[in-house]
Amino acid sequence: MNNTRLFILLVFALSVGLALSQTAETQIPSAVNQQLASPDPSVRAKGFEALLATPGILRTPTGVRAIVSLLQRETALIEETLRDSGGKIGVSAKYGEGYGEYYAKVLGTVNTIGNKDDPEVLDALVKATYNANSDFAMQLAKTKGAQILPTVLDLCKRSAVGSRMQGVEMLGTIVRENRALSAAATNQIKAAASAALIDTEGAIRQSATAILAEIGDAHDIPDLELVAKNDKGVQLETGERRYFVREAAQKAIARIRQRSSPR
């Protein structure tokens, strides 16, 4: 009887010890949490590297949430830095060249371990800073185009030039990469592109004309004709004025008419 009781107690103790060990292995160490919460991005980068070195923690729900929160914080820092400097100073100029590499690594980690069916993960990815022509952006557009469209449309309306630029360019990526867009989604993209034709930034206007060249119809031609006639162009360092947006609008009109003409 005593032996049986002793055996039960031993098994119980071992079970508790194993549970405590597993809990410890899946919790982020307090020192790392402090680094991730630091106001200094270089310290946060060290916390991120420490988390990467413990994949057993990284891939737990707690680890994923920590990396997603880190991406959101770094994205906010990029936007804040550009906003405060009037778009003249980026994070690499302020925090060093290594910041861009660090940020790209955080974004890549979220893209790899995050569940893209989780709205918070998907939102953090879409709102991150990236090239709309990158493999990451094209894959996101191809697999989640309809889901990310509301967020991308919101980016197109922001006051920050960089956000609007990324939003309009990402609309173009969705149009090119996602062949399963509904008519309603396509109309939303067309409306956003039409609105962007009068943006203050020439590069955004040019991206908008490229979208309408792909999905525009006869109803879009009058707006494009105004751009082709009136866009102010840009002054080059040589003193020459070039009209890249006008040329893009003319090409868009030609493509729309070609699609609309009977065959």
The overall average pLDDT reported for the chain is 90
Burial degree of 160 (CB within 10 A; 0-12, 13-18, 19+): middle
> Which is higher by pLDDT, 135 or 59?
135
Architecture of domain 131-136+145-263: Alpha Horseshoe (1.25)
d(CA 261, CA 231): 27
| The pair of three-digit structure tokens given for residue 8, joined into one six-digit string | 């039960």
d(CA 142, CA 182): 14
Q: Among residues of the chain, what percentage have pLDDT more than 70? A: 89
Identify the three-state secondary structure at position 241: strand
d(CA 93, CA 75): 16
> Which is higher by pLDDT, 157 or 9?
157
Note the pLDDT of residue 4: 57
pLDDT at 24 over 60: no
pLDDT confidence bin for 263, thresholds 50/70/90: low
pLDDT at 131 over 60: yes
Q: Which residue ranges does the chain devote to CATH 1.25.10.10? A: 131-136+145-263
Task: Give 78-122 pLDDT, tens digit per residue.
Answer: 999 988 888 888 888 999 889 999 999 999 999 999 999 999 999
Identify the three-state secondary structure at position 79: helix
- Torsions phi, psi of 237, nearest 5? -60, -25
d(CA 101, CA 92): 9
| The pair of three-digit structure tokens given for residue 102, joined into one six-digit string | 């660090």
| The pair of three-digit structure tokens given for residue 187, joined into one six-digit string | 């109309």
H or E element in which residue 178 lies: none
- Torsions phi, psi of 115, nearest 5? -85, 110
- Torsions phi, psi of 28, nearest 5? -75, 125
